[in-house]
Amino acid sequence: MPKITIVTLLPGEIEKVIDVCKFSPINSELEIEIIYPQKDVSSHQAGNLKLTKFEDVQELPVPDKSHICFFASPISCDLYRKQAKINVSSLYVHPELAILQLQSDNPFKTKLSDYGLSPCVLEGDAAADLYIEQDRLIYFCDFQQFMQNKKPNFVLLSTNTQFVESLISMDSAHWEHFHPELNYRNLCVGYNNPHRLLLHSQKQLLRLIRIPDSIYDLGGIRYSQQDDSTAYSFFATHYDQYMDHVDYESWVNYVLSWFKQYSSLQLNKILELACGTANFSEQLVNRGYQVYACDNSIDMLHMAAKKAVKPILYYASLTDPIPGRNYQLIICMFDSINYLTQAKQITKTLNEVSLALENGGLFVFDISTLENSLDNFSDVSELYHYSDGLMLHQAWFESVRLMQKSALHFFKKDTIGYCYQYEQHLQRVYFTNELIELIHNSPLKLRAIHSTDTKTNFYPKHLNSIDEKYSRLFFILEKI
Ligand SMILES: C[S@@+](CC[C@H](N)C(=O)[O-])C[C@H]1O[C@@H](n2cnc3c(N)ncnc32)[C@H](O)[C@@H]1O
């Protein structure tokens, strides 16, 4: 069985590691084992994770093709190095750059050229003396010259810790961190984006994305990095503040009044798809309903889980089969449906929703319309100030492909200045008629299309120009 092992040696770190694993979509085909020192006694219930006490630091599990091993954090790795009295180097891989950080008392004996890589060094860096193939080294007078001339297979060797740290603090979410001599990775709990890294490894082991041939397969690592959607990663921590202006309570009132109007069922069990930080579901739980909620951003689910009142949360994509059945109401709010950029994904979601609804139950979703994109998200740049940094939001609309794009640049304050984070959001604008046709070809029946600006049901008699008149439309579908 494919397996992920996370070794944690820092006292108290195990709680953070369990927290990271909490929403990992662990299934029966995959095992996650957390190895921790004997003295670090944890009282946590770990669900379907396996917890193993670590007896001897010399006996690290050895990764193979069906096994990915992590140190929980760089500090855990440092502690391991001290206790086991060995020195290991670090390989940092970014979509644009690869750096091999060598330890000054540890000659690096692997020939990078055997893997098609070109070792590079800046003049004056002691790394040149530690590398075995001296005659293969490509020298650069400074970092700027290296950046101007680099090729995808270039690896910059360095012993300068501060230089390497300042490089990886830029765009920190997109670096992967390996220990080549051990074939271990760093999960970077407490630093980067551990949830995504873990999910990424799970996908690799389940062969959902291409597995790199080795730690030196930079092409393979970068290829799988591309697959990793960045939306709602760092932004998860700012989402609730960003949405502060939204009156979720009145939205809940609208949805519940439509349920009364269009369904004869007694409402009890509700599912929210793409729930984000569960602002909507939180209100429904408060009103006494049994609420389940899922999202495909682990970071958003982590924020949701911190709330005092919350639904039962789980990880899933909008197009995944829905595990539960007999929901009276399924909702998908705040233009989450627009994140499905292909019509066939909408069809898949409608089919899955239909299977999970009770007969007579409703599916309510909203869309951001053409009007919203043209009026509010066409060539927009806005700067937001948060207590921990600044965010620049750029938005533009590609009218030919009907794609609404957003780039979020975050300059996060940290101990050595600012660390740069970036994520991109891609949404598709759908015309009402296009959605009506998709719904007609699905097992669900379209009952109504509403806006919160008027009481009129636009379907089927008042459809004219509604995409240009209203910024948000709510679709109400029934399972018959
Ligand atoms: C604008 S937020 C809305 C969140 C929440 N529904 C609300 O009302 O605040 C969009 C949400 O959709 C989620 N999302 C985007 N694509 C998704 C997909 N394919 N499957 C599941 N969730 C998705 C994002 O992670 C994000 O949480």
Residue ranges of domains in the chain, CATH in brackets: 3-228 (3.40.718), 236-371+430-479 (3.40.50.150)
252 lines ligand 1 (CB under 6 A): no
Three-state DSSP at 21 gives helix
Does the beta carbon of 346 sit less than 6 angstroms from any atom of ligand 1? no
Between strands 98-101 and 154-158, the pairing is parallel
Q: What is the pLDDT along the chain (480 residues), one digit of tens a residue?
A: 889 999 999 988 888 888 888 777 666 678 889 998 877 666 555 556 788 888 887 788 999 889 999 999 999 999 999 988 888 899 999 988 999 999 988 899 999 999 999 999 999 999 999 999 999 999 999 999 999 999 999 999 999 999 998 888 877 777 889 999 999 999 988 776 788 788 888 888 887 777 788 889 998 888 777 655 678 988 999 999 999 999 999 999 999 999 999 999 999 999 999 999 999 999 999 999 999 999 998 889 989 999 999 999 998 999 999 998 999 999 999 999 999 999 999 999 999 999 999 999 999 999 999 999 999 999 999 999 999 999 999 999 999 999 999 999 989 887 777 878 888 899 999 999 999 999 999 999 999 999 999 999 999 999 999 999 999 999 999 999
Question: For position 4, what pLDDT does the model report?
Answer: 93
The candidate with the shortest Cα–Cα distance to 236, out of 282, 286, 296, is 296
pTM over cut 0.85 = no
Spacing, Cα 336 to ligand 1 middle (Å): 5
pLDDT in tens, 359-406: 999 999 999 999 999 999 999 999 999 999 999 999 999 999 999 999
Measured CA to CA, the distance from residue 154 to residue 164 in angstroms comes to 16
List 158's β-bridge partners, or say none: 101
Pocket test of ligand 1: the residue of 243, 251, 252, 295 to mutate, having most ligand atoms within 8 Å of its CB, is: 295
Q: Is 43 left (phi over 0), alpha (psi -120 to 50) or beta?
A: alpha
Q: Which secondary-structure segment (H or E) carries 305?
A: helix 298-305
| pLDDT for position 195 | 81
Pair type for strands 90-93 and 98-101: antiparallel
Three-state DSSP at 414 gives strand
What pLDDT digit, counting tens, does each position of 210-221 carry?
778 888 999 888
Q: What is the Cα–Cα distance from 166 to 345, expressed in whole angstroms?
A: 41
- Please tell me the predicted confidence (pLDDT) of residue 46: 54
d(CA 128, CA 43): 48
- Say if CB 32 and CB 6 are below 8 A apart: yes
Q: Cβ(283) to ligand 1 under 6 A? A: no
Give the pLDDT score at 49: 78
For the CA of 340, the closest atom of ligand 1 is 19
Ligand 1 atom closest to 280 (CA): 8
Out of 339, 353, 368, mutate this one to test ligand 1's pocket (max ligand atoms within 8 Å of CB): namely 339
* CA 5 – CA 338 distance, rounded (Å): 36
Q: What is the pLDDT of residue 52?
A: 87
Q: What per-residue confidence (pLDDT) applies to 89?
A: 94
